[in-house]
Chain A
């Protein structure tokens, strides 16, 4: 029988994994929307407005999923991890509180104006609302990453009677890993949103959309990805160096280093084995790991055996890290190839468009893999050096946790299906319907205003 600890961990992982998918898109997508709207205000080119109108609907849907899955998160701490709040509540509470106060209300309120108020306020005020939502989503990331980074590399605190008290809020917020993690996450969001925009736009073009708006959005997405991808590689490297300094056991697990090594190879592939505490089928580039992490070819990398009993499980770390990096490299290559093709040929060839469609959610894969690495990499600690995960869990009966977990999983599967299905519907619909410029739609959000033939062919397209 599974115990409450395992079930609670699975439930938390399920909740946060499902939740992070949507903010990862919306944090950056909102800045893209602000950019579209601003370009429209500055140039009066209606194509920008059409691109805005399509993407703001996608944004609203994605945002709603982020909000509702986020509300579950705010209850999780109390229901499943009471030990967390009892021990570090003095730190976590205020940081989460600032997130609600400075970010949630801002984004929620201005979202209303952004979505429904375009005719009720001057265009500049509307663009300002989009900016406020973008600032809100980014502030939200700021606070939650401050808390997460503090859990990884806690500073600015003291322990009195087993309870953590803040001694310096600046040190708590700007703890050593925070700037790197925040930058890494914001760039990840930018890349995720860029490929999301490219993928859906490519899908529209492939389905026969001859309009300018998807091409403009596709170009914006590709250029954004081409700029952010190398930047992300750079920031990711800095983040890794920072982790090497503060959480060496995490790096050892990511790189599959068991014994402390001088001149450690960069393993491209291996199967780590915790039983024998060694790797099978190693394929590596000699000395490269040492060179990357210490900037010396024979630099020392502490091995997992130095941290026996106090390091994370190795397999998920090792593979998670490689999935993230591999996906990042693929995104970099795709974005650059896309920009090159756009420059040379003006229009993207069909196979490349198909590749972009296939990569619509590539950002999700990389983001989830990266978060698994950093979160599993903190185990067995919930807050490094202060609180172990096993000590924070609720005394609630396993059956109760099992029930809530089953409920969440069912809901998440249905929602994910509905989300992707609806995205497809919206993209298909926009192939036939102009992004309403002058005339009001007859029945907004339904397909009734399509010509009959278009509707049938679109059904067929949907089934294919």
Chain B
């Protein structure tokens, strides 16, 4: 924490890492649920209507959700250009593959509704595979980031674990979104998916929590030094309670009159926030773990001020119309139609 005190006069990078953290978290939650829905698409012939409804539930939102990724990368580029080029060069190939995945799902979403009948299934497959590629590479990149871009075998194994964990987490939030947005048979199915994905995510979180401090001595020190240890233990405890509560709740869903159908999604969002703050806490104020902190990577003061003025004015407006859009499309998703 000494760096923080030394740089106490220079608060702009701290503001920007906060903004970036918010953008990444918003991305993980928002695009998380639509990626999850993509992975969960059932591919049976008789499932076509369910696929339509599932995609309808994310239709009006996916584009704006993906914009949070552009904002996060944009903020990294604006505020911490040195870290931006360091990270993206290290992750060159996974980034390219993730982008292909994003392209696949983005276009499949539109093509599936417009192509001829015989191509629709192919585009649905493209959507599912594209979503899966995206989440796996994002998880892999998260693993690489945590491991300081280490290419040793153990690091790669950890990245594989992280790819699995992130994918499970996206499925978890995607399935919970479906519990909220669908009804009848599909909802019952979604409840089952949520429980399974929840258990897989729990496994992933536990594994990452065990491995991370073991391989990162800095993280170990930070986690297990009194008095911070009290705070650090609070996060996994709350997280664990969240998982268990959700599992118990899901066992009773769906209830009559659709009671409590929004609760699983809210709980998963809570778990995401907890995991994310745990991760942020492990590394702050480093922007590239062990290599570069936010003050070393920050861009010029006048640039940060210029963009901050815009952000302060525009971000509330963005939140307002995002809220408006979710209001317009509240309630259960029906089949998607381009009007």
Residues on A lying within 8 angstroms of B by beta carbon are: 53, 56-57, 60-61, 64-65, 67-69, 71-72, 74-75, 77-79, 82, 85-86, 89-94, 96-98, 100-102, 104-106, 108-113, 115-121, 163, 165-166, 169, 394-396, 400, 403-404, 407-408, 411, 415, 418, 422, 425-426, 440-441, 443-448
Contact at A121–B328, with CB atoms within 8 Å?
yes
B338 is contacted by which of A60, A101, A400, A404 (Cβ under 8 Å)?
A60
Contact at B110–A64, with CB atoms within 8 Å?
yes
Residues in B neighbouring A408, C-beta threshold 8 A: 96, 100
Residues 62-76 of B, flagged 1 when their CB comes within 8 A of A and 0 if not, give: 011011011101111
Contact at A79–B96, with CB atoms within 8 Å?
yes
Residues in B neighbouring A404, C-beta threshold 8 A: 92-93, 96
**Bound Cα distance A93, B96 (Å):** 21
A425 is contacted by which of B70, B99, B116, B306 (Cβ under 8 Å)?
B116
Question: Interface residues of B: mostly helix, strand, loop or mixed?
Answer: helix
State which of B231-239, B268-276, B288-296, B309-317 sits at the interface with chain A: B309-317
With contacts A75-B73, A101-B311, A415-B107 taken as known, whether A53 is within 8 angstroms of B87 at the C-beta atoms is: no
For chain B, residues 305 to 328, give those with C-beta under 8 angstroms from any C-beta of chain A: 306-307, 310-311, 314-315, 318, 321-322, 325, 328
With contacts A115-B339, A444-B335 taken as known, whether A79 is within 8 angstroms of B310 at the C-beta atoms is: no
Contact at A90–B299, with CB atoms within 8 Å?
yes
**Bound Cα distance A445, B337 (Å):** 8
**Bound Cα distance A118, B337 (Å):** 10
B303 is contacted by which of A56, A64, A67, A94 (Cβ under 8 Å)?
A94
For chain B, residues 40 to 95, give those with C-beta under 8 angstroms from any C-beta of chain A: 59-61, 63-64, 66-67, 69-71, 73-79, 81-82, 84-89, 92-93, 95
Contact at A74–B74, with CB atoms within 8 Å?
yes
The 4 A-B pairs of least Cβ separation, nearest first, read A112-B60, A78-B88, A82-B85, A93-B78
Contact at B321–A110, with CB atoms within 8 Å?
yes
What are 22 A-B interface contacts by the 8 Å CB criterion? A53-B339, A61-B110, A71-B106, A75-B73, A75-B99, A78-B85, A89-B78, A89-B81, A90-B81, A93-B77, A96-B77, A97-B75, A101-B318, A108-B66, A116-B336, A116-B339, A117-B60, A120-B329, A163-B300, A165-B302, A394-B92, A440-B337
Contact at A112–B102, with CB atoms within 8 Å?
no
Residues in A neighbouring B99, C-beta threshold 8 A: 71-72, 75
**Bound Cα distance A60, B63 (Å):** 11
With contacts A86-B81, A94-B307 taken as known, whether A112 is within 8 angstroms of B325 at the C-beta atoms is: yes
Residues in B neighbouring A415, C-beta threshold 8 A: 103, 107
Contact at A109–B328, with CB atoms within 8 Å?
no
**Bound Cα distance A77, B59 (Å):** 30
Contact at A165–B112, with CB atoms within 8 Å?
no
Contact at A69–B337, with CB atoms within 8 Å?
no
Residues in A neighbouring B60, C-beta threshold 8 A: 112-113, 115-117
**Bound Cα distance A425, B79 (Å):** 45
For chain B, residues 80 to 138, give those with C-beta under 8 angstroms from any C-beta of chain A: 81-82, 84-89, 92-93, 95-97, 99-100, 102-104, 106-107, 109-117, 120
Contact at A85–B67, with CB atoms within 8 Å?
no
Contact at B315–A422, with CB atoms within 8 Å?
no
**Bound Cα distance A56, B63 (Å):** 16
Residues in A neighbouring B307, C-beta threshold 8 A: 93-94, 97-98
Contact at B339–A118, with CB atoms within 8 Å?
yes
B337 is contacted by which of A86, A90, A441 (Cβ under 8 Å)?
A441
B-side interface residues, number (CB < 8 Å): 68
Residues in A neighbouring B89, C-beta threshold 8 A: 78-79, 82, 394-396
Contact at B111–A422, with CB atoms within 8 Å?
yes
Residues in B neighbouring A116, C-beta threshold 8 A: 59-60, 329, 336-339
With contacts A53-B339, A102-B314, A396-B92 taken as known, whether A78 is within 8 angstroms of B84 at the C-beta atoms is: yes
Residues in B neighbouring A443, C-beta threshold 8 A: 117
Rounded to whole Å, the gap between the CB of A104 and the closest CB of chain B is 5
With contacts A93-B307, A444-B335 taken as known, whether A57 is within 8 angstroms of B85 at the C-beta atoms is: no
Rounded to whole Å, the gap between the CB of B23 and the closest CB of chain A is 9
Residues in A neighbouring B73, C-beta threshold 8 A: 74-75, 78
Given contacts A64-B106, A74-B74, A407-B97, 12 further A-B contacts (CB under 8 A): A65-B106, A67-B106, A100-B71, A101-B314, A112-B60, A115-B59, A115-B60, A120-B329, A394-B85, A394-B89, A425-B114, A447-B117
Rounded to whole Å, the gap between the CB of B332 and the closest CB of chain A is 13
For chain B, residues 150 to 189, give those with C-beta under 8 angstroms from any C-beta of chain A: none
**Bound Cα distance A112, B335 (Å):** 15
Residues in B neighbouring A106, C-beta threshold 8 A: 318, 321
With contacts A64-B107, A79-B89, A100-B70 taken as known, whether A90 is within 8 angstroms of B303 at the C-beta atoms is: yes
**Bound Cα distance A72, B95 (Å):** 9
Contact at B74–A445, with CB atoms within 8 Å?
no
Contact at A96–B78, with CB atoms within 8 Å?
yes
Residues in B neighbouring A71, C-beta threshold 8 A: 66, 69-70, 99, 102-103, 106
